[in-house]
Structure 1
Amino acid sequence: MSWKDRLHDASFKGQPIKWLASDGKVGRRLAEHEFPQRDRPWVEDMGRMIRPFSFTAVCCGDKWLEELNQLLAVIESPGEGELVHPLFGRLTVSARPASWSMNLEAGGRVDVQLEFIETGDLLFPVPVKQTATAVRDAGVTLLDRVNALLAETMAQIDAVKARVADVTGMVNGAISGVAGAVDAVLTVFESVQDMVEQVLTLPATAIGKLLTVFEVAKLRLGGLADATKWGLRQGQAIRQLRARAKALFGRSNSTPSSRVAGLLLKGLALAATLSVADALAGLPVQRGVSVEVPVAADIREVRSTMQVALWDLASDETGFTQTPAIASLPPPAATDLQPMSYAASQALIELHRALGGHLAAVESAGLQLQTLTPVSVLPALVLAYQAHGNAALADEIVSRNAIAHPLFVPVQPLQVAYE
């Protein structure tokens, strides 16, 4: 590979730039203060200077006039745009006024002097809606209402007649295939049987502990990538736990044991909901110099999964007192539970709205994905720098594409995140 092969094809806002020379400037902005009777000035560092990127471009060939008109139109178009720099890859810039010149002796050729400057993230403070606060507030409300609903349901379903072995068997069978559920239970209780025994003997205290079983897993998350993947897995786990709880409450021949088992699965689904909502509330809704942002496509998938899961939970709460297991209880059990069930469904709907709005804001600030195929086997660091001028994206390339070794990225279509 020659040195020219390492250069990117230059363009601005998608318009190719045929360039002959390129230059730029870097450095610090300095304020030089001179004082009477002082031989040495005081130099004040005002921060890094604006980085200009200059090109001597040319429009030539059979379509030189069309190329010139297209290039000038792009330069005059409003707003910032993406510059693909031959050395530095993709940059967000604004175009300064350009100049062009034509010499009749040169034939069909026009030289164009272009200059671009990097664009900052924010020129002035901009108010940002506190979407994360709305998610956390909705989570607190849901926790209060769910805690009350589960405790009251335990008091109404004649739990003293439930058999520990039967309940344990049903819960074990239901959660064994749900990713992370058994491990989550074991972070708070000694075993599934211990959880059942505590719920039956001290329901108020045990239900409070039950709703925190996924907190340890949340605290172990290592960053945005972990939070995003965990959110997707939790969304799927919520749907599985909810479906299995619904099946137990839907039995026409329900028993105290099956009701308690269904209630525990319902509690686990809601515990997972509370934990994942709090974790996702920590995702950033704005880009910044030192702010890591997730990939927009990943957030879109998490948002879709969580929206479906929350809506299903809210729908179940709306008809909870009409399920065979609850409707068959002696009066006035269903009547007493109806207001609490309705309040819980409204809290779930509010969390559905708040989390959807927050994840939409996170997605709009997220990184985009593109597919590229390297021309040869390369280290991930080199590929990331060649693709976007940012070697820090190497770990993301390795993780997203399941690369066996970061020094040997194979020649195959790869998904690469970029700003």
Structure 2
Amino acid sequence: MNKFFCALAAWLFCGAACFAGPAYTAFTALGHYPFLTRFPGPHAVFSFGSSAGFDNPAFFASASSHTLMAGGYGLQTPDFSKSPLLLDLSYTGRFLEKGAVGAGTAFFSNNGYNESVTSISFGAQALQLAYGASAKIMTSSGLSNGAYGKRTLTIDFDAGGLWEIVPRLYAGLALFNIIGTGVINDYAITISTERAAKVHFGYFIDQDRTAQVLAEGRIDSLHELRVRKYSWGAAMDKAFFEKRYLAVRAGFLSQTAARGADPDNAIMFGCTGNIPVRGSQLKIEYSLSYSLGNASAGNDATASHALRAGVAFGGYEDYVPPLAKVSIQQNALSPNGDGVDDAITFFISAKDNAGGTGIKKWALILYTREPGRRLRAIKSFSGTGVPPTAIEWDGRDAGNTLVAKGAYHYQLRVVDQANNFSDSPLFTILVQ
């Protein structure tokens, strides 16, 4: 089993290294750390990192509360004086414009029981594949009565990949605790020491990728081919105001601790606000996980609250990437000289954030897809300063030769004076 996990992780890295081309975002971080939004607990729906990409370095800090809600399923005011403490810090830095490194630590304390996890991670993206890995040290204390499980001190690794199957549809696979020491701690809040695997699927509903639906499943305790715990969840994520100022998330998570046991179900909500402040970007997030309880296990309904704040920074004085949008009124052209749809017009919207340093350069690139899904640029329009609002393409490549009939792709990149950049989604156009 250990050989299988190591071989699969090696395949993910080697396969990613064979690709070359433009990155869709500055980076994509995978695994538990670094992350932007996750619901509390080691089996979080949003811990995969699909929405954690940034174009700038960032630092985040959070405080969470797991509060017992008495008297049925209604939400009540949490009593924080009796709540356990969960602190979480993480930092992410960009390098080479296609990858990121990060470091994070989390500490949990409750009634004499402590947990901690400290990790360093790497994430990058090549064409449709985002991949990453993290190394971590996990500790937990043991109580004299053994109620909270064994004392833990272990070093382990996570690895994963996220693949865009077709435009707007992606799938991911992550492997946790690849070494897998076999240490089991049933009470774990911030850590999960058991070998686990997770699959993840997501679909962007609209062309601008402001809304997506996602689902994932996770299995734990893969030691000796035993599946002792598993979970699954589904959620929806919606961004507003040009994807830069507000995002909301709602989801459902079901966890089963043992074969034949009743699942623990929870509903979840998250909200992220992005506020430009003097060229930086202040991020504030709140998330709520409300467990519906488990009558057969005697568990009451509980609510977990998390408040997370951070600042995206880096570059020189302007730390917020500009806006990059491109659209067309028709998705096909037929450059045959009959005067009907011989050319197509790209409509461009590009602007820097309020108080930013302004746009430095831009590029609109058209691609063809070669065997092996490799993208090759066939034509580019580029310039300095603010791009024009409309660009016409007559179906000819950089050598002024008409392209063959088929599907082609286009993408806009906008860079500001502080070298922060944004890429539009990769769109498809047909030549008939």
TM bracket (short chain): under 0.3
Bigger fraction of residues in helix: 1
| TM-score scaled by length of structure 2 | 0.25
Bigger fraction of residues in strand: 2
| TM-score scaled by length of structure 1 | 0.25
Larger radius of gyration: 1
